[in-house]
Structure 1
Amino acid sequence: MVVKVLVVDDSSFFRRRVSEIITQDPLLTVIDTAQNGREAVEKAIALRPDVITMDIEMPIMDGISAVREIMAKSPTPILMFSSLTQDGAKATLDALDAGALDFLPKKFEDIARDKDEAVRLLQQRVKEISRKRFLLATSVRSKMPDTIVKASERSDLQRSSPASIPKRSGKVYQLVAIGTSTGGPVALQNVLTKLPGNFSHPILLIQHMPATFTAAFATRLNGLCQISVKEAEDGDLLRPGCAYLAPGGRQMMLEGRGTGVRIRIVDGNEKINYKPCVDITFASAAKAYSDKVLAIVLTGMGSDGRDGARLLKEQGSTIWAQDEASCVVYGMPQAVAKAGIASESLPLDRVAQRILMELGR
């Protein structure tokens, strides 16, 4: 089935450029374009596209307001285009909070080594998030009052019996590590905001994200969460109740053992696709903490995290993966699950609860 795309941007040049890239793929087609947020809302309702690409700064109605209205009236997977600035980072995070699923920089050279790679990446992102239209509709229905949605019609994701919840393993942990990519900002917010302020372990967060975004994202999480959240800095001593977000454009590693473990932030190998890379941080955690790591792979494209998770498992640590139904993109968790590395597959809404149970909270 061909994916129908609505392209929204106030620049006619950018609308044309994005449309040309999308239509190069035989599985994608641009059904229309819009030059402001108000047009986007009207055409989203009338045309029912499978995916919308959306600019943030537009006249009449901005992209964030448009996302919010579209998600309320006609839930559709939305891919934002953002500038890689601090203001752009904040606006993009606001758009993700409003319901957008993913984002890409407006300057394609910022996301790829060459033009062909940028084209493939945009096409791939559009196809991946198009698969989540049904999930968005289910999510909206799950938030309706009980008088509107009958209990029998609720998604299985919102239904869980005590018997289906695993029991605590009894293992001793010293670290929680979470890796994610596409859909990760919202997923991490879902998990971390449910943890208590006296959480007893340090947490490492590895989110594929540009360098200009991670500081803003850490600040946002810190304001929303009971635990402390900060962008990791070289030399940080890991302490309980604090989550350390790997800075974009660099690699986060650990040095030392036991209670004296510190974070090392390095540039890393230029040949590695991801900066930060989940595999690198997980592998470093395996050396520093051996069998005392609870590692979780959340939504994301690709397979980053699989090799690092394998090293952790070989040391005796515990690996969990987010389940397919609740992922924006079931790539990274699927890679871990298919390799037989994950001992549990969890819906996003139960990850925090399961962490607290496993740690004996």
Structure 2
Amino acid sequence: MLCDDSAAARTIMSRMLATDPDIKVVARATDGGDALAQLTAMPVAERPQVVLLDLEMPRMDGMTALPLLLKAAPQTAIIVASALSQRGATATMAALRAGAVDYVPKPSAAAGGMNGGQFQAELVAKVKGWARMRRPASRAAPTAAPRYVLAARPAVIAGKPRAIAIGSSTGGPQALASLVAKLDRPLGMPVVVVQHMPAGFTTLLADHLNRIGTLPCSEAKDGEKLLPGRLYLAPGDRHLLIKDVGGSLVSQLGDGPPENFCRPAVDPMLRSLVAACQGRLLVAILTGMGSDGLAGCRSVTGAGGAVLAQDEASSVVWGMPGAVAKAGIASAILSVEDIASRILVAGADGKRT
């Protein structure tokens, strides 16, 4: 279901989604009240698996409609669409806290509007990914047994890891929230995170994660000394690099060109960490499109570090973790909860990962 007061937006998104034969737009609504009326009138078996919900609409806006839609159809995944602005970022994070599963930022006219290929790829991937996650087992298509090769043996980091690094993209905010909520004990090293997100959104994501877990979380600052037991999130539109300065890990924010079409990107962070930590590094690659992090993970394992990949079943999009898994450089392929458990073990004693 598409819910947007703009007829142009509904038309553009309908056309984009129609390019994928697995997606069918079953309803279009002009505001939250219209969406709620249409949803509740549908037989339960025919309700959409995903609702794309605009946040700024007349009559009934998205934030007002969100809890009502969730109550009426708790198994439906709601992805909110918001303006690519600070106001839009604030509304988006409020929606995620209220039960939306994900978001798509609507590009401004100055940025090319909604006609860009990147927006379409993200839109299609999130709709398909969350539909798969919410599909009842009886309706799920049978899948072949996964084919990937684990590292020949569980990697053992030589000494306690100096840092934990996490990379994520599509579906990442929810995965990060689940992971951070499980990190309920002190860690003996800093945790650095790259989540593909626009500027402005990462500030609010850091605040969101800070409220969820017991470990303090903030956006990384240029020249900041990284402290054990804290989470540092790469700011939107800045690469996060880590350097060893006099025996301490220090963050450096960079304006270098995007890598894997992303800034921040996972690969430059991992390259810098390999040099700063001399291989004493544990990496977790979570849900996301593409293969950002693959090259960096090769460097990590080559230097003696260890890599964990999120499993396909719990990933909205098994692109980034799938690339690492299929390359045979992951020492384990796990759910988010099990990745958190491995991080806690590594953070406590630095032994087998």
TM exceeding 0.5: yes
Q: Deviations over 1:113-142 (max 9, x none)?
A: 994524xx4255325532433533679xxx
TM-score (normalised: structure 2)? 0.83
Superposed displacement of residue 87, structure 1? 2.4
Superposed displacement of residue 8, structure 1? 0.5
Quick check: 1:250–1:265 contact (8 Å CA) kept in 2?
Answer: yes
The residue identity in structure 2 corresponding to 1:105 is: P
CA distance in 2: counterparts of 1:215 and 1:305, whole angstroms: 22
The residue identity in structure 2 corresponding to 1:136 is: R
Superposed displacement of residue 242, structure 1? 1.1
Superposed displacement of residue 327, structure 1? 0.9
CA distance in 2: counterparts of 1:13 and 1:133, whole angstroms: 24
Count of aligned pairs between the two proteins? 328
The residue identity in structure 1 corresponding to 2:94 is: D
Match for residue 333 of structure 1 among 321, 325, 344: 321
Name the counterpart of 2:84.
Answer: 84
TM-score (normalised: structure 1)? 0.81
Superposed displacement of residue 24, structure 1? 4.8
Name the counterpart of 1:57.
Answer: 56
Q: Deviations over 1:261-295 (max 9, x none)?
A: 21110101256510100011011111111221110
Does residue 220 of the first structure (1) align with residue 208 of the second (2)?
A: yes
Name the counterpart of 2:5.
Answer: 10
CA distance in 2: counterparts of 1:62 and 1:116, whole angstroms: 26
The residue identity in structure 2 corresponding to 1:126 is: V
CA distance in 2: counterparts of 1:106 and 1:167, whole angstroms: 42
CA distance in 2: counterparts of 1:313 and 1:262, whole angstroms: 22
Superposed displacement of residue 227, structure 1? 1.3
Q: Secondary structure at the match of 1:39?
A: helix
The 5-angstrom pairing of residues 191-210 of structure 1 reads 191-196=179-184, 198-210=186-198
Match for residue 250 of structure 1 among 233, 238, 251: 238
Does residue 130 of the first structure (1) align with residue 128 of the second (2)?
A: yes
The residue identity in structure 2 corresponding to 1:79 is: I
**Distance change >3 Å, CA 193–CA 38, structure 1 → 2:** same
Superposed displacement of residue 105, structure 1? 2.1
Superposed displacement of residue 168, structure 1? 8.8
The 5-angstrom pairing of residues 40-189 of structure 1 reads 40-45=35-40, 46=42, 47-74=46-73, 75-107=75-107, 115-118=115-118, 121-123=119-121, 125-136=123-134, 171-189=159-177
Q: Deviations over 1:1-50 (max 9, x none)?
A: xxxxx110122332233223333555544322101223223434514224
The residue identity in structure 1 corresponding to 2:13 is: V
Does residue 345 of the first structure (1) align with residue 333 of the second (2)?
A: yes
The residue identity in structure 1 corresponding to 2:53 is: M
**Distance change >3 Å, CA 108–CA 69, structure 1 → 2:** same
**Distance change >3 Å, CA 330–CA 24, structure 1 → 2:** closer
CA distance in 1: counterparts of 2:264 and 2:302, whole angstroms: 23
Quick check: 1:51–1:126 contact (8 Å CA) kept in 2?
Answer: no
Superposed displacement of residue 167, structure 1? 11
Superposed displacement of residue 243, structure 1? 0.8
The residue identity in structure 2 corresponding to 1:306 is: L
Q: Taking CA–CA contacts closer than 8 Å with sequence separation of 6 or more, which of the two structures ends up with the larger relative contact order?
A: 2
CA distance in 2: counterparts of 1:246 and 1:329, whole angstroms: 21
The residue identity in structure 2 corresponding to 1:320 is: L
Aligned CA RMSD, in angstroms, stands at 2.8
Does residue 32 of the first structure (1) align with residue 20 of the second (2)?
A: no
CA distance in 2: counterparts of 1:271 and 1:202, whole angstroms: 24
CA distance in 1: counterparts of 2:39 and 2:348, whole angstroms: 46
Q: Deviations over 1:179-222 (max 9, x none)?
A: 00111111111111222363221010100000111111112222
**Distance change >3 Å, CA 224–CA 116, structure 1 → 2:** closer
Identity %: 37
Quick check: 1:109–1:115 contact (8 Å CA) kept in 2?
Answer: no
The 5-angstrom pairing of residues 254-265 of structure 1 reads 254-256=242-244, 259-265=247-253
Name the counterpart of 1:144.
Answer: none
